[in-house]
């Protein structure tokens, strides 16, 4: 993992180019190593805020092993989201980081149609001005995200140094994110899905497994481990090696085991899902464990959130029906 002093100097983000990034376009390389989107990086490059050896570069500049890119961080502006007094299930908090157990139905950051009631609004109320500004006006402090109907742990940074440290851990895969899910079909053995993900050409609101080399497609790797095989359903653990949008849901659907209750990537509801529809409001997916090195102390933090009631009840029903 990149040391903090190698990444951060006043308001400049420093990104050394390693072997994995060698030969890539500058916008692609920086999108892989920072919290900025490619479109945001393109705007920064147009303004001359991204340099190599003091010379501004464009998004099409090809970078090479040994290069060091510098990003002049934009001035922090007030978040567009408004603070809202929304209760938070806080698993851990100190001066650098806060970890929340997100409930089902809560959107992480503002988006069209979800301008209020977000976790960002709740964090703004709870933390006041003590959130990192690197995520921009829509995502202050947010280092990673989980889907609206996925429950579980999400970390937010309370200052820029913490944000950069956690982002580096995401980039080099040293931050471990473990999920639990109920999926359709029996799974008896552990496995890995290594299949790149990009925006679906058929439905721009969905993600899909697409051929490598397709524009906008990024590598995606998910490891899964059986907990209990119920025959028509399975309780599994999953560990993300990468963190693409809807990654688990897309990957499990791709291998024929969609997440129970997933109305976007699943097939028609099974009789079991129809019988217990009151317990299924979206996918049965829970981000239960999070492990990372504390941004200030380096201490390894291992945090856990219990299964939500609906997930636990469905699991109990499956166990009873198996007897």
8 Å CB contact between 125 and 260: no
Split into its structural domains, the chain has a count of 3
Whether residue 147 lies in the annotated active site: yes
Residues 202 and 222 both lie in one domain: yes
Q: Which of 186, 261, 249 is nearest to 222 (CA)?
A: 249
Domain end point (choices 171, 188, 219): 171
CATH number at residue 251: 3.30.2350.10
At 192-202, the pLDDT tens digits run 999 999 988 88
Average pLDDT, integer, range 298-315: 97
Per-residue pLDDT, 33: 78
Residues 162 and 239 both lie in one domain: no
Is 85 domain-assigned?
Answer: no
CATH number at residue 49: 3.10.290.10
Q: What is the mean pLDDT of the chain?
A: 89
At 55-110, the pLDDT tens digits run 999 999 999 999 999 998 766 544 467 899 999 999 999 999 999 999 999 999 87
Q: Which of 147, 149, 160, 262 is catalytic?
A: 147
Is 214 domain-assigned?
Answer: yes
């Amino acid at each position: 993992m990149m040391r903090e002093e190698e990444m951060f100097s006043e308001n400049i983000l420093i990104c050394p180019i390693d072997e994995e990034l060698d030969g890539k376009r500058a916008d692609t390389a920086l999108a892989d190593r920072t919290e900025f989107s490619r479109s945001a990086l393109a705007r920064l490059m147009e303004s001359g805020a991204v340099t190599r050896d003091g010379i501004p570069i464009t998004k099409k500049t090809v970078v090479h092993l040994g290069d060091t890119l510098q990003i002049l961080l934009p001035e922090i502006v007030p978040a567009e989201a408004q603070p809202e007094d929304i209760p938070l299930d806080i698993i851990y908090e100190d001066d650098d980081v806060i970890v929340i157990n997100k409930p089902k139905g809560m959107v992480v950051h503002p988006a069209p149609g979800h301008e209020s009631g977000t976790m960002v609004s709740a964090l703004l109320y709870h933390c006041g001005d003590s959130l990192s500004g690197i995520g921009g006006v829509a995502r202050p402090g947010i280092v990673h995200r989980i889907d609206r109907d996925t429950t579980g742990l999400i970390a937010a940074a309370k200052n820029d140094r913490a944000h950069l440290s956690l982002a580096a851990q995401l980039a080099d895969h040293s931050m471990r994110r473990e999920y639990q899910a109920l999926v359709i079909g029996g799974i008896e053995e552990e496995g890995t899905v290594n299949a790149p993900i990009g925006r679906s050409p058929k439905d721009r609101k969905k993600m899909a497994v697409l051929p490598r080399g397709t524009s906008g497609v990024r590598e995606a790797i998910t490891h899964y481990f059986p907990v209990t095989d119920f025959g028509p359903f399975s309780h599994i653990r999953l560990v993300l090696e990468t963190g693409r949008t809807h990654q688990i849901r897309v990957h499990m659907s791709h291998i024929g085991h969609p997440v129970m209750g997933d109305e976007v990537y699943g097939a028609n509801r099974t009789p079991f899902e129809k019988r217990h529809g009151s317990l299924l409001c979206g996918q049965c997916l829970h981000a239960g464990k999070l492990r990372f090195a504390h941004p200030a102390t380096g201490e390894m933090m291992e945090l856990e959130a219990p299964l939500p009631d609906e997930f636990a009840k469905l699991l109990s029903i499956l166990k009873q029906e198996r007897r």
